[in-house]
Each structure stands twice: as structure tokens, then as C-alpha cells.
Amino acid sequence: SDFDNLRLYIEYYVRAEYLDEISKLVLYTSILAKFSNVKQGQDTDKAIRQFLKSNHLSFEKINCGITGAKIKNSKGKPIDNFVKLRNFIIHQLGNQSAENFLRDSNMLFNLKMAITIIILKKLGICDVHFDKYFHEISIFDDSYPESESLKNLFTR
């Protein structure tokens, strides 16, 4: 059953590659919600945040500074993370600011990277690290060590 679920998540992850930005956001967030075992009526934001933290992935880094974009939903509440952005787009059809942020930020890249790391871990490849030279694109939290693979490669 777990393998069938993983296979399904991988299938949707691959399909998302050929979709527009909004569809990618919806699929990527849904995949993370499934990995996080979000139950009906449960706070999706909180469950995904805890799941990412347990995998040493930074919820804040994935969000790409969305708070600075000052996107507000129809009730005037700020959109401050990718889960709220997904909900805003699904339930209120979003707005141009939300679409521009999604297109111009690295949020989708970061979500894709998070899912890639989780899939690799589920497949038994647990030693996934970013080299310290790629610190700027790392989505791991500060508790997770960066490697020095490139330095070691060139000093042999």
C-alpha cells in the first residue's frame, strides 16, 4: 500500500512538469499534504509544516519571501505561505499579484525540490545534502549539515 501510494505521488509529480504554474502549485501542495498524512478537517498548513520540519526541510525557505509580496485574500488577510496561496487560488481564484509572485519566485522550484528529497528518502536514499557552495538554493533547515563534496572532489 505504501509503495502504491508512493508510485501514485511520483506519477503526479512527473505529470506536473508539463502544467502551468497554478496547476503545479495545486499538485505539489497536494502531494505534500498526502505525504504529511493530512486528515479531513485537519490544519493542512500545520501538518505540512511539521512534516517538513521532521525531514529537516525549511517551510520558510520554500515560501520564498511571499510575505514581502503583500498578497491578500478576499477578506484582506495576508497570504504568507504556499498552502494559503494554493487555497487562495483554488477557493477565490487568486489575483494577478498571486500569479505574478508564483511566476517570478522560486516557490515552485523549491516545492519540487522538497518533493524530490522526500521521494528519494522514501526510496531509501537518505544521504541527500546540498554542498555548501549551493547554500543559496538549499531548502534544508539550519539543523541539517551541508557537505563539502565539491571541495573534496577537487582536492584528491
Tell me, what's the pLDDT at 148? 57
Partnered with residue 131 across adjacent β-strands are 147
Q: From first to last of its 156 residues, what are the pLDDT tens digits of the chain? A: 688 889 999 999 999 999 999 999 999 999 999 999 999 889 999 999 999 999 999 999 999 999 999 999 989 999 999 999 999 999 998 899 999 999 999 999 999 999 999 999 999 988 887 776 666 767 887 776 555 555 555 665
By residue count, the chain amounts to 156
Q: Return d(Cα 16, Cα 13) in angstroms, integer.
A: 5
CA separation for the pair 57, 120 (Å, rounded): 14
Count of CB atoms situated within 10 Å of the CB of 117: 21
Cα 71 from Cα 81, distance rounded (Å): 10
pTM of the model: 0.87
Other beta carbons less than 10 A from residue 82's beta carbon: 26
Q: What are phi and psi of 140, to 5 degrees?
A: -75, 150
Residue 58 DSSP symbol = -
